[in-house]
């Protein structure tokens, strides 16, 4: 028939190739529950067969697949552009601070600025290489073998293969809250860890969504980006402290002259503003990378509702944990997690509205319904500016775009 294409079903590997489509797109049965196969796929037989069978798929369905994939690619491109703009803003800021200080002090303290910048860079480089060991000790990570957790290893290996990166090292964190995190200095020595509580709370699809989120962090190299960018606020902070004390003491050595102290206090004030702004930009980058990893998870698993459901369960598990114990366990490591545990109680109040049938999870229908009507108040948007993670409602609404 002129207006229809055919698809060959292969029971051996569980996928269905769209014959006649040169891009070799595949429909994977495991992407859909038995009762939730898209309407245009209703003609496909999902049961095993001895030999390839042929079924008809409308041309408009193939076109819909193409449009959907292009839409996902555009969203990911938008996130990448926002990340790149953030990086450029940070470097423009540090260049502006250097130029302003050089102008105010007529170049006398330019060498001092370089020394402080080198000191900050050395600290960040040490943090970059020593950081993984600190994370392992703080999060009480124990690396596990395939014999101990075969299903977990299989999922990590499968997701890493789909993401196009080497399989990361797999670990279990013994902290008593449900969460997951990834860390490492490169794709080849990256590690993915989940807490025991997380594995107890999530079903297979939800755990797969969380693992895909963390592996997307590795794929995007955003851990290294955040570490490298953190040197900029540190430089501004060092400049602020140095010139603040120098100004309060009335100047430095041979630079003592009339109004020298006032000029240095002015430099300190500018450096403090740069420190504050650069931190806000760094937090913005951190939130963008979470959106980017969510998009990566949705692209890999094709089940954005599973990640939304996992986030809901993680937030609930963190919300019911004792707050004093939670702060002691996570400390400053909360930026590593899939969801911020310290804001869990507030987040749960907002996200609970997505659980329409109150069964403790978010399905595809609930995801779409919640995304259509959910709104974030202005006060919550302001609080989000100072957070390492996006507001969970924002994350769920964006995940619905991939459904």
Residue 171 has phi, psi (to 5 degrees) of -135, 160
The answer for residues whose C-beta is within 8 angstroms of residue 371's C-beta and 6 or more apart is 396, 397, 399, 400, 401
In the numeric block, which tokens belong to residue 194? Answer: 């989940």
Q: What is the pLDDT of residue 142?
A: 94
The number of beta carbons lying within 10 Å of the beta carbon of residue 64 is 13
Alpha carbon distance 93, 110 (integer Å) = 16
- In three-state secondary structure terms, 59 is helix
Tell me if residue 354 falls in helix, strand or coil: helix
Domain range summary for the chain, segments of one domain joined by +:
68-400
CA-to-CA distance for 399 and 403, rounded, in angstroms?
Answer: 7
Distance CA 305, CA 208 (A): 12
Tens digit of pLDDT at every position of the chain (403 positions): 333 333 333 333 333 333 333 333 333 334 334 444 343 344 433 333 333 344 444 544 444 444 444 455 555 565 567 666 666 666 676 666 666 666 666 545 556 666 766 777 787 777 777 878 888 888 889 999 999 999 999 999 999 999 999 999 999 998 888 999 998 888 888 999 999 999 999 999 999 999 999 999 999 888 777 777 777 788 788 888 888 887 777 655 444 455 667 777 888 888 888 889 888 888 888 898 899 899 999 999 999 999 999 999 999 988 887 766 666 666 567 677 878 887 888 889 889 999 999 999 999 999 999 999 988 888 888 988 888 889 999 999 999 988 7
208, 214, 329, 364: the active-site residue: 214
For residue 338, count other CB atoms closer than 10 A to its CB. Answer: 28
**CA-wise closest residue to 228 among 121, 327, 371:** 121
Note the pLDDT of residue 15.
37
pLDDT of res. 196: 92
pTM for the predicted model, two decimal places: 0.73
Active site annotation includes 329: no
The DSSP result for 117-168, as a single string, is: HHHHHHHHHHHHHHHHHHHHHHTTEEE--TTT-HHHHHHHHHHHHHHTSPPP
Q: Which pLDDT value is given to residue 202? A: 95
Task: Report the pLDDT value the prediction gives residue 95, as an integer from 0 to 100.
Answer: 65
- Predicted confidence at residue 195, as pLDDT, reads 93
pLDDT of 17 reads 36
Extract the tokens encoding 223: 């851990």
Rg (CA), the chain: 25
Task: Find all residues with CB under 8 Å of 320, minimum gap 6, and list them.
Answer: none
């Amino acid at each position: 028939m002129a207006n229809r294409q055919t698809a060959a079903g292969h029971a051996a590997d569980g996928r269905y190739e769209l014959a006649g489509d040169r891009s070799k797109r595949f429909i994977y049965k495991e992407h859909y529950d038995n009762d939730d196969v898209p309407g245009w796929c209703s003609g496909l037989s999902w049961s095993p067969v001895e030999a390839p069978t042929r079924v008809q798929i409308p041309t408009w369905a193939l076109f819909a697949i193409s449009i959907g994939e292009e839409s996902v690619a555009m969203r990911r491109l938008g996130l990448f552009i926002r990340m790149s703009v953030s990086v450029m803003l940070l470097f423009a800021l540090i260049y502006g601070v250097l130029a302003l200080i050089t102008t105010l002090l007529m170049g006398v303290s330019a060498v001092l600025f370089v020394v402080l910048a080198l000191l900050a860079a050395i600290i960040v480089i040490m943090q970059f290489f020593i950081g993984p060991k600190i994370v392992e000790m703080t999060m009480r990570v124990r690396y596990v073998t395939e014999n101990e957790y075969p299903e977990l290893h299989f999922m990590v290996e499968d997701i890493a293969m789909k993401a196009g990166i080497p399989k990361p090292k797999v670990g279990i964190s013994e902290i008593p809250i449900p969460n997951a995190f990834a860390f490492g200095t490169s794709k080849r020595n990256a590690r993915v860890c989940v807490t025991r509580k997380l594995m107890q709370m999530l079903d297979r699809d939800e755990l797969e969504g969380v693992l895909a989120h963390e592996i997307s962090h590795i794929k995007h190299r955003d851990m290294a980006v955040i570490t490298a960018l953190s040197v900029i606020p540190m430089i501004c902070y060092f400049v602020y402290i140095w010139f603040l004390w120098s100004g309060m003491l009335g100047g430095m050595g041979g630079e003592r002259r009339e109004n020298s102290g006032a000029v240095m206090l002015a430099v300190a004030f500018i450096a403090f503003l740069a420190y504050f702004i650069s931190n806000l930009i760094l937090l913005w980058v951190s939130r963008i990378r979470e959106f980017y990893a969510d998009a990566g998870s949705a692209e890999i698993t094709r089940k954005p509702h599973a990640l939304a459901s996992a986030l809901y369960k993680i937030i609930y598990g963190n919300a019911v944990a004792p707050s004093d114990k939670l702060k002691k366990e996570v400390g400053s490591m909360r930026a590593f997690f899939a969801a911020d545990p310290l804001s869990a109680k507030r987040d749960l109040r907002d996200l609970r509205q997505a659980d329409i049938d109150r069964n403790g999870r978010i399905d595809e229908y609930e995801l779409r319904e919640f995304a259509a009507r959910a709104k974030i108040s202005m006060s919550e948007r302001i609080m989000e500016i100072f957070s390492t993670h996006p507001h969970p409602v924002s994350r769920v609404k964006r995940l619905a775009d991939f459904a």
